[in-house]
Amino acid sequence: MLELDALPPIIEKRVSLFLIFSALFGFAALKQLLDLSWLVGVYLNFLNMNPFLFFCLAVYSVSSLFSTEANESPSGFTVDLIHRDSPLSPFYNPSLTPSQRIINAALRSISRVNRVSNLLDQNNELPQSVLLPDHGEYLMRFFIGTPPVERLAIADTGSDLIWVQCSPCASCFPQNTPLFQPLKSSTFVATTCASQPCTLLSPGGRHCGKSGECIYTYQYGDDSFSAGLLSTETLSFDSQGGAQTVAFPNSFFGCGLYNNFTVYSSDKHSGVMGLGAGPLSLVSQIGDQIGHKFSYCLLPFSSTSTSKLKFGNEAVIRGNGVVSTPMIIKPSLPTYYFLNLESVSIAEKTMPTGSTDGGNVIIDSGTVLTYLEQTFYHNFAASLQESLGVELVQDIPSPLHFCFPYRDNFAFPEIVFQFSGASVSLKPINLLHKLEGRNMLCLMIAPSPVKGISIFGSFSQFDFQVEYDLEGKKVSFHPTDCSKGGSRPTEEAPKEGSGRRGKKTPMPYSRESATQVGKKQVNVTKSCSNSTKSAQWECEVQPAMLTASLGYPDPKVVQKDNKVEEFEKSEANDKYQIMDIETAEASMGETGGASPRESKDKRRSSSSSNVHTPNIVDS
């Protein structure tokens, strides 16, 4: 048995962090209740900060979180979205063919859709996301802290929480940049359990530490999860190609101290930027400053340009050809954006989807394929095959379902997705991919494994500006050449300032924003009547009605700052013991590993009435 009393004090503190945390997560009782307060206590002890001092500082700081006044009108900004398979992405693998990338994307899609199915089948208490850390499709750069530290995160409309890995970390996946060090930032504040923001976490996903700090837990579809301190920081974004920087002080994010993932997670990103409908997502937090609007314009994977993610005035699409459909938020899956898909037309043939009560399709930028409810899909596929007059090939690569021989100059019928109030006409670039070496075209639509639910994926959204209006509760579509940066508002958004890094333009929080949770309208009041000397929030805010589950596997190997500590289980005391003290001490360094910086076409189809000549990405 390792004797801590025989160790020097500084080594004792460092070893204690691992002993306590591994022992903490080794108990079966954690399957019923996760209490990260021991972690936070040791975390604070390691930093030589008195817990009472921490509490006092947090109480004082939280009272001024939202002291700034709101802008009178929403402003706008634009950031780059990098597809993971783009040559601009750190995930890019030049040895893969375009078709291999498509197949891999389809495999990620089916994994994501299966997790949606699991969420619907479960009755849980923890917030969940269908995203796995290495399964996102789009990346975005942002800066966190003061001075600002650049991060590369997965941008996901299927997640709510913003989080990054923080140091010192008890269990973190490797990343190729140092972990975020909160105590080196002058604007970092850990929130308290008494604060109103903590109540926005679901009941099963929030816990109180020994010093009164708010601890979050967030599960990712399987047994993976992130846990740590719910905190506030300044988040900033480069807009207009870096010519302008916008900053959002006091943004809530998860400072991840225990990020346990059962599958491999890449070292090429360091967290998640939640764009979902929940109250802690980026778009909900900054809603008043952006008019509760955001939009994106997605390019095909092979493009050498970046897609665009727009907020505020710059997100608004106007003009001829804009169609809108109601947005629906479901109590069972409050993170996701649902639409009503009434029918799908192939040329002159219209096929109703059936019941559309309460939304029957999720619009999701993180799922590549479009999935149609199984019974409806088979009717759709049979009608499309009849319209094309082709025989399907026998050796269709999994997980695709509809491939047919390619021939030059064949007529492809117009396919229209009829949402409530909005007809969206899809071109071949939204539907087909040509497999190189196989002389076949494959349909990027598949049968959904989720009963009664379809998913409108990103492939079908190529070359559309898609606007989400959370306040107006609608989603709008506009055919757009996304290689030119997407649609522009009729009136230019007011300039919020410009400059290089260090000359930020603050975009302060307003005092109130609203987020629909289930069938209830929850007012997320930011300042209420709290004074500068009190953290007592006199707001009545109902937490999000999220459902999820959490299993806690015993961590046999714990990742810390890109170094691995092995633990040996003692049958006598059911605890873990560090086998290599020098490894443990070395792992408590200040950096998170090597520090190379995270690396920094138009395709339009011709059309005539109901027939298109395919203009398809040729692999």
> pLDDT band at 79, cuts 50/70/90?
very high
Q: Is 134 a catalytic residue?
A: no
In a domain? residue 275: no
Higher local confidence (pLDDT), 558 or 269:
269
Q: How far apart are CA 277 and CA 110, in angstroms?
A: 22
Contact 235, 243 (CB under 8 A): no
Q: Is 364 a catalytic residue?
A: yes
- Domain membership of residue 441 as a residue range: 311-491
From the candidates 364, 463, 469, 561, which is the catalytic residue? 364
pLDDT for 6 = 39
Q: Which of 395-404, 463-472, 560-569 shows the lowest per-residue confidence on average (mean pLDDT)?
A: 560-569
pLDDT for 172 = 81
Q: Which one of 356-370, 532-546, 548-562, 601-615 scores highest in mean pLDDT?
A: 356-370
In a domain? residue 9: no
What does DSSP say about strands 512-517 and 520-525: parallel, antiparallel, or unpaired?
antiparallel
Contact 126, 218 (CB under 8 A): yes
Q: Which of 110-119, 213-222, 468-477, 478-487 shows the lowest per-residue confidence on average (mean pLDDT)?
A: 110-119
In a domain? residue 475: yes
Q: How far apart are CA 467 and CA 386, in angstroms?
A: 34
In a domain? residue 348: yes
Task: Name the residue with tokens 């492939």.
Answer: 459
Q: Which two tokens stand for residue 489?
A: 């508002």
Contact 413, 389 (CB under 8 A): no
pLDDT for 50 = 52
Q: pLDDT at residue 245 above 80? A: yes
Q: Which of 123-127, 354-358, 587-591 shows the lowest per-residue confidence on average (mean pLDDT)?
A: 587-591
Mean pLDDT of the 540-556 span: 24
CATH of the domain at 427: 2.40.70.10
Mean pLDDT of the 125-140 span: 59
pLDDT for 378 = 96
In a domain? residue 22: no
In a domain? residue 484: yes
What does DSSP say about strands 445-448 and 370-373: parallel, antiparallel, or unpaired?
parallel
In a domain? residue 318: yes
Q: How far apart are CA 521 and CA 524, in angstroms?
A: 9
pLDDT for 259 = 82
Q: How many domains does one find in the chain?
A: 1
In this predicted model, what pLDDT tens digit does every residue of 307-352 receive, in sequence order?
999 999 999 998 899 999 999 998 878 889 999 999 999 998 999 9
pLDDT for 226 = 85
In a domain? residue 402: yes
- The residues, ordered by sequence, that sit 6+ positions from 134 with a Cβ below 8 Å of its Cβ are 263, 264, 265, 266
Q: Which two tokens stand for residue 183?
A: 């105590």
pLDDT for 343 = 97
Q: pLDDT at residue 272 above 80? A: yes
Q: Which of 17-26, 106-115, 128-137, 532-541 shows the lowest per-residue confidence on average (mean pLDDT)?
A: 532-541
From the candidates 80, 85, 134, 156, which is the catalytic residue? 156
CA 479 to chain centre: 25
> Which among 532, 511, 516 is positioned nearest to 469, based on CA atoms?
516
Mean pLDDT of the 187-215 span: 92
Q: Which of 149-153, 222-226, 261-265 shows the lowest per-residue confidence on average (mean pLDDT)?
A: 261-265
Tell whether the torsion through CA atoms of 65, 68, 72 and 75 is positive or negative.
negative
